[in-house]
Structure 1
Amino acid sequence: MSQLPTLAALPVTPITTETATLSPTPLPATWTPTDTPTTTPTSTPTVTHTPTITLTPTASLTATPMGDARVSGEKGVNLRTGPSTRFTPAIALLETDLELILTARTANSQWFEVQTFDGRTGWVYSDLIELRIDPDNLAVRNIATPTSPAPAIVDIPPIDDAPPVAGSISQRAIQIYRQGIQRGNNPAAFSKVGDSITANQPFLAAFASGKYDLASYGYLQSTIEYYQASFGRTSLAASNAFNAAAVLSSIWADPNACQPNESPLECEFRIHRPSIAIIMLGSVDMQLYSDTEFEAYMTDIVQQTMSAGVIPVLTTFPNREDFHWHESVVFNDILRRIASNEQMPLIELRDPALALPDNGVGPDKFHLSQKDSDQMILNLDEHQWGLTLRDLLTLQMLDTIRRSVG
């Protein structure tokens, strides 16, 4: 995970240090004894000088100024050039508890224009800051929102009235795919986009290692062979640190592989040149963001993916009743709505996972349940483990796309 940028230090007023010196009291070089009854002579004492002492004053502390608001998001908040997630990439990620000066707002007060005490300016989302002033006293600024991500390498076809045919994908998805191939995308490559469920678990790893038994799903073998190079590949758009916002932010891109101001999503597409993106996000986001912001982030991801000539395949995520159940229902409905509105493929993992033990979720209530062995046996494991079910449904979707695009 890339490190966050270091904030510039606040200026500190220099302190002038004065050194106080204690002068030694002069003593006589010798000492002459007075007459006494004793006849024992007294020796001459040795003169001892008093050492010099340097006093160091205590530096005064500079108080942290208090602004009109503070960053309250657990993971901070993105600072953007305009009041929308379409203003991508973000300028910076402002850390939690950073003080802000508010300078303007949108008409609905969903976004605020801010300035930090070290001079940075931009827009932040209202749900991730805590206000100390009445926002109605701020001026309203209207800024046109970009209609599509840039740069776009394909012309996204319009949405048709006809729904996708069962067992295939929409003509709109096929058109996007074909434009991407014309511009150099690899028809036999797909990319993984996601959080730790994708990055940290052995997602599709059995198909890369050959440790699987397809049983009655033998018809999928040709699809495994076709996409062989992508199953075990480490994606630059999947990480245990990612959520939907991070995928779009250059702050989280790998500096060793990605270009300046390039998001993890853009970086992955430039380097791997996939024709398909398997996208699964939401399990982290439902703990951090509102449903409105999550929908905006996911819509941006889908739009940027289509603009790259890549078919976005969204995946619903399983959840347990004792862990953010209500939020998971809402966020999964958002994924279904985006896929339907854009006529893009959807892997429905959540509903069939409800029939698995613990809804296909592991003991941490977050990651998918998985077997101890790395050997996959279908017609058996997909009825027990959430990860195996995801592997099978994803492979079936890849097979459907491969057959649909010809």
Structure 2
Amino acid sequence: MKRLCAAFAVTLILLAFAGSALMQDPASPSLTSAFQDINVRQGPGTTYPTQARLRTGVPVQIIERNSVGTWVHVQQTLEDGTIFMDGWVVSGFLNLSVELRFSQVPVSTLADALPENAESPALRALYSAPIISPVSEAMRVVYQRGLEMRNYSHVVTKIGDSVSADPLYLTLMSRPGAALGPYDYLQDSLDYFGASTQVESVAARIGLNTYALFDAGWASPDTCQQGETPLECELRRKQPSVALIMFGGNDVKHINEVAYDQQMRRLVEETLAKGVIPVLSTFSANPNDPNWWKAVEFNNKVIQIAADYQLPLINLWLASRPLDGFGLEQDGIHMNHWGTDTLRFDNGFPAFSGANLRNLLALRMLDEIRRTIFLDPTAQG
């Protein structure tokens, strides 16, 4: 009975502290609370240790975010200035104010993961790559060469298997009714690239892999010239400045790491030769999948290739770790959806839908490229 009374007393104290924190600045857009109990970690990722639990409805203040906005640093501060709770949470589990603008929230310099807490060297390599990489000066040279070849700076395309062929990936950027929610800083890049995503890619098809991409038999006879491969056809017909590339789901079942590495490098080199910036992406995988460790090795190949060619990289594998089922459908390959056929980053969508998260990361990378190369090179995302 004494323990129950003590626990009840602690609960009352916490509620009192919560009330005090709420009285600080109830009108601030950065004031928020969780709609369910969630872990509070020491940094913006699942490899950071858990240090507390944020209980449902307890008010906290957002003080900074990661480079995307999928994790935010929150504090609960008492009226006397004492910080009662301090740590990082997934932003999708918060009751975010409709007035919150991530453009007004400082961006943290903390890494997206603590690789040293991973269980193996292979996983440490995967955790070491940021969710959104910086854009190198080498890509500025590629972009300028593309302009000389009459590529269009506002055009982006996608290259990949059935995960990329998903009609709700990338093409949503061309549809009206986009709800960016707090991700307001992405609006200009959505306006810039959005219309170009309306036409589907002939180099993103169900069943396509890194070998079929170079097989003219896989090219569409209605849109491609005789003898063209799907890759050649897509780059000719759209003349994009950027190509978002992801392969792995099909390849991991049929070829080994050496063959995958060779084909991905061939893809990169042919894309670069056309003056197109190749953006590589890791792919999500479930540890319970029989091909788990092979998928880890394939993803590490992607990271190494991006480093070797100084390419932009989206670490979707890392970003999807907090999602239920790692953002995957039951088949363990395709990204899951969450009941929307428009671009939705409000109401926590990226924390519950792998497909939605992937669209967010794609737009975030396009924003990084536009700000770094197309605009002032000193601009920050």
TM-score (norm 1): 0.58
Structure 2 partner of 1:328: 295
Distance of 1:269 and 1:171 partners within structure 2: 22
For the aligned residue pairs, the C-alpha RMSD in angstroms reads: 1.8
Structure 2 partner of 1:399: 367
Q: Does 1:212 align with 2:171?
A: no
From 267, 282, 306, the counterpart of 1:339: 306
Matched residue type, 1:189: V
Checking the alignment, whether the CA contact within 8 Å between 1:192 and 1:277 is kept in structure 2 is yes
Matched residue type, 1:245: Y
Q: Which runs of 5+ in 2 are unaligned?
A: 1-129, 376-381
Q: Does 1:365 align with 2:332?
A: yes
Structure 2 partner of 1:271: 237
Structure 2 partner of 1:59: none
Q: Which runs of 5+ in 1 are unaligned?
A: 1-163
Tell me which structure has the larger Cα radius of gyration: 1
Q: SS of the residue aligned with 1:275?
A: strand
Checking the alignment, whether the CA contact within 8 Å between 1:237 and 1:265 is kept in structure 2 is yes
Distance of 1:337 and 1:290 partners within structure 2: 16
Offset, 1:377: 3.5
Checking the alignment, whether the CA contact within 8 Å between 1:216 and 1:379 is kept in structure 2 is no
Offset, 1:337: 0.5
From 328, 349, 357, the counterpart of 1:389: 357
1:370-402, Cα deviation, whole Å (9 max, x unpaired) = 112324233601111111110001001001111
Structure 2 partner of 1:233: 199
Distance of 2:257 and 2:177 partners within structure 1: 39
1:187-211, Cα deviation, whole Å (9 max, x unpaired) = 0001110111111341024322123
Q: SS of the residue aligned with 1:215?
A: coil
Distance of 1:184 and 1:232 partners within structure 2: 20
Structure 1 partner of 2:158: 192
Report % sequence identity: 34
Distance of 2:261 and 2:185 partners within structure 1: 36
Q: SS of the residue aligned with 2:157?
A: strand
Distance of 2:199 and 2:351 partners within structure 1: 26
Q: Does 1:173 align with 2:131?
A: no
- Runs of at least 4 residues off by over 6 Å: none
Checking the alignment, whether the CA contact within 8 Å between 1:253 and 1:267 is kept in structure 2 is yes
More contact order relative to length (CA 8 Å, sep ≥ 6)? 2
Structure 2 partner of 1:286: 252
After superposition, the Cα gap between the structure-2 partners of 1:167 and 1:192, relative to the gap in structure 1 and judged at 3 Å, is closer
Q: Does 1:310 align with 2:281?
A: no
Structure 1 partner of 2:23: none
After superposition, the Cα gap between the structure-2 partners of 1:232 and 1:290, relative to the gap in structure 1 and judged at 3 Å, is same
Q: SS of the residue aligned with 1:193?
A: strand
Checking the alignment, whether the CA contact within 8 Å between 1:274 and 1:310 is kept in structure 2 is yes
Distance of 2:347 and 2:142 partners within structure 1: 34
Checking the alignment, whether the CA contact within 8 Å between 2:214 and 2:231 is kept in structure 1 is yes
Matched residue type, 1:402: R
Distance of 1:215 and 1:363 partners within structure 2: 29
Q: SS of the residue aligned with 1:377?
A: coil
Offset, 1:330: 0.6
Offset, 1:167: 6.8
